[in-house]
Structure 1
Amino acid sequence: MNKRGKIGFYIFLIIFVFLVMFPFIWVFLTSIKPVNEIFSSFKWFTSNPSLSSYEAALTNRPLLRYMLNSFVVSILTTLLALVFASFTAYAVTRLPIKGKGLILGIVLAASMFPQIAIISPMFNLVTGLGLRNSYLGLIIPYITISLPLAIWILSTFFQKIPYELEESAKLDGASPFQTFRKIIFPLATPGIFTTGILVFIAAWNEYLFALTINSEDSWRTVPVGISMYQSEFSVPWGDISAATVIVTIPIVILVLIFQRRIVSGLTSGSVKE
């Protein structure tokens, strides 16, 4: 690539990154503006930055409680989804089971159902079990929508592991569970981390089930909690922007911590050996 090509590439990259980051930049700049400037001007920067919106976001609504609820539900959903999806993906891809294609087809079909189509039976199920306004009441529907995604992703990773390793373990007398625990699972760690992050973010951002099932304020999750900042007569965009910045920080930190494993998982098997 010549010098002009490199300059053009970097200009394109800067523009692309700016367009991707623009919503986040605008939300942050809005969050530090005084309330009277949010609607009175459309300037990018304010001459009087203020943290009053952050204080209001933390005091007007129990934002930290919403974050705790989201963390608990998302972490438990991720752990359970990974456990069930790992065993399912291993059985479908590595064991001599008839109808593997049909099973994966059913899993794919289940993932295509829109949430609004299953909200009514899920609501009746959770209500019948007495699990409304609880963590478990959200985990159950979250598992149903995250399992198909997790199974499909993990099936792809398990299929790329050489079968010779599994055959060697069988010759040494290892059971299918021992083979899975000592060979398959460790080799699929990058894919498991990637799947876990995707499931966690999906559970963290879910809105419809959280709005319907947990109606008490102390059990609401972050997306529903932030939507409750608006009142009948006004929308406090400063508070909402500040709350959005606060709840985004943990996700950014999580991705930064595991970025190498995520990239490793996304690129695993992309190079033919």
Structure 2
Amino acid sequence: MKLCRLGSPGDERPCVVDAEGNVFDLSSLTTDIDGAFLAGGGVERVRAALAAGDLPRAEAGRRIGAPVARPGKIVCIGLNYSDHAEETKAAVPAEPVVFMKAPNTVVGPDDEVLVPRGSVKTDYEVELAIVIGATARYLASPDEAAGVIAGYAVVNDVSEREFQLERGGQWDKGKSCETFNPMGPWLVTPDEVGDPQALGLRLWVNGELRQNGSTKNQIFGVHHVVWYLSQFMVLEPGDVVNTGTPAGVALGRGDGAYLRAGDVVEVEIDGLGRQRQRMGQA
């Protein structure tokens, strides 16, 4: 099942996409797709209403917002593909590298992304995002992680490399600029995704294929990541976990191929949909 949110920023309506691509309005079931909805059995209510034919069609042609409203936190895993670690000349980590992004970096999948003021190294990263659907606290093993995952989504973990790596301190200031986490178009439930370690990820800049990888090459798989994070923090419904990017980022190319205003970035993951962003200037 694919959940989405349609409408202008701040006024999105919750929707569901059926197997034939028809879009239905969920406003009779919930005010939004958020942590409370995910924790309170919202996905199963939608599944039942869809099967019963009780949902009205959604208005066509509306903007697509991020599929999860107001995530409590965005937790990110760095250097989680061996080829990406190699291209950035970083050692393969013995444990997941963890950093955070500000929750208000989340925008819709096709919204404008802003190059920050003073930026010379704005970069792109196609990533598989995990959406948490139940509280995860000290999970006993990675096997328990499947029970707390509501679904998956496409994200572009936009990064400013000079801010991240050359300005001192931690990575967060190169990761938390406004609009730096386009998400969607859908939250896809695990039953429809299948094996999360068998998904192709691709990213283009101005029509040039820059990244072409697979989640099978993750150093730490999605269940391991959720289990690991639960040992250090409580993951709550509606939280988002970005799971790392494959090779091909501008940082690793060495040719100055960073993003500029006017560039067009397209991002897709098998079964999870496609994004398209035009870069603007902050």
Task: Note whether the superposition's TM-score is higher than 0.5.
Answer: no
Bigger helix share = 1
Scaled to the shorter chain, the TM-score interval is under 0.3
Q: TM-score, normalised by structure 1?
A: 0.24
Q: Which has the higher contact order (CA 8 A, sep 6+)?
A: 1
Bigger strand share = 2
The structure that has the greater radius of gyration is: 1
